[in-house]
Amino acid sequence: MVFFAVLAAVATGCSNGGSSPSDTTSAAASSSVIAQTGGPTDVPLKDGCGADYLGKLSLREKLGQLLTVGITGQSDALNAVGTDGVGGIFVGSWTDPSLLDATQLDAVKAKAKVPLMVTIDEEGGRVSRAKNKIGASPSARVIAQTQTPEQHYENTLTRSKALVGLGVTVDFAPDVDVSSQPDDSVIGDRSYSSDPQVVTTYADAYIRASQAAGLGAVMKHFPGHGSGSGDSHTGSVTTPSLDQLQNVDLVPFRNLVTSGAAVMVGHLDVPGLTEPGVPASISPAVMKLLRDGTGYNAPPFTGPIFTDDLSGMAAISDRLSIEEAVEAALVAGADNALWISSKAVPSVLDRLEQSVSDGKLTTDRVDASVLRMARYKGVQLGC
């Protein structure tokens, strides 16, 4: 679906804020992660589909399209886009709020060689980065208790149009986690309900409204954070087993995987699915489950896969440096690596170029991800 039709040019879920952690970690851990196999397989382009678009980009520029980074303000954003060529910027709680302005963001978009994503966390409730611009909204749990799905659609449509008016193009929402945990837990009231059908109904309304406004939606946190053992911002999180997730946490994803929304994968250890020390965000098995669908009785997922924040959340940053984590995520099958600072972009791109040279990250995988991101941005590829 075309989400960026409103653009003339050319979304943590992730972090709850905070600064980037140290990039010090074990090279041995990185090597073991990247050696994992079994992720989705991308095939070469057929019938020249997207060849013209890909032909405009060097390898480093292609790799830049697979990165979304947090920025502090307009100057930082101009450098990340104009100099480093990232495909997306992330407006967080630490970002100068004056950047949320169409004029400022248009200047940043003008520096991009191909359409730029301007992403934000705007779920409503306690995860709301634009409430001072577009007003506050209740939490998902309160919405499901006090609004009909039709009312939620209309309210979301109004807020999504307001975000687009500010220059935002992607919202890292809705949260489709199924949870009965207390309101103030890491998911808690960010979840519509402990009933997966209720979650499906209200998330569907959110996605349809976002799309009607020309705003990209991103479901999170696959394969389900709602019953996790803790907070992935502060440490590792273990979910119920894959078998237990099938009839609860995975239901909204199964129901909505063809909705046109992208999917964000969380930093979750899933018994029966992930390998020890390899959370979902960098797990080939998780990417394959989502992409193929057969492991949870869902249609194949053809849209882009985002990671949750790779630098500001201890569930991943305690294990790998940002350079290692981004490489591991893309090798595993993610299409877009998200983190909260632009500082490491040059070293990440250096690492990814070396990964392609070494054959760890294949050119077919890179090209397929670049084209998925292009389609999500509304680029017409002629196929």
Which of the residues 76, 308, 309, 335 is marked catalytic?
308
What number of other Cβ atoms are within 10 A of residue 380's Cβ?
9
Question: With contact defined as beta carbons under 8 Å apart, do 327 and 299 qualify?
Answer: no
CA–CA distance, 206 with 161 (Å, rounded to integer):
12
The tokens describing 127, both together, are 């995860």
* Rama region for 298: left / alpha / beta (φ>0; ψ in -120 to 50; rest): beta
Cα dihedral sign for 20, 25, 27, 31?
Answer: negative
49 touches 381 (CB < 8 A): yes
One-letter amino acid at 101 equals: D
Is 84 one of the catalytic residues?
Answer: no
What one-character-per-residue DSSP string does 65-93 give? TTEEEEESSHHHHHHHHHTT--SEEEE-T
SS3 122: strand
Question: Distance between CA atoms of 360 and 211, rounded to whole angstroms?
Answer: 35
Known catalytic membership, residue 308: yes
- Nearest one of 175, 87, 84 to 128, comparing CA atoms: 175
Catalytic residue among 177, 233, 249, 309: 233
- The DSSP annotation for 169-221 comes to -EE---B-----S-TTSSSGGGSS-SSHHHHHHHHHHHHHHHHHTT-EEEEEE
Q: Give which of 110, 81, 135, 133 is closest to 7, Cα–Cα.
A: 110
* Residues belonging to the chain: 383
Place of tokens 């400022």: 104
Residues marked as catalytic: 233, 308
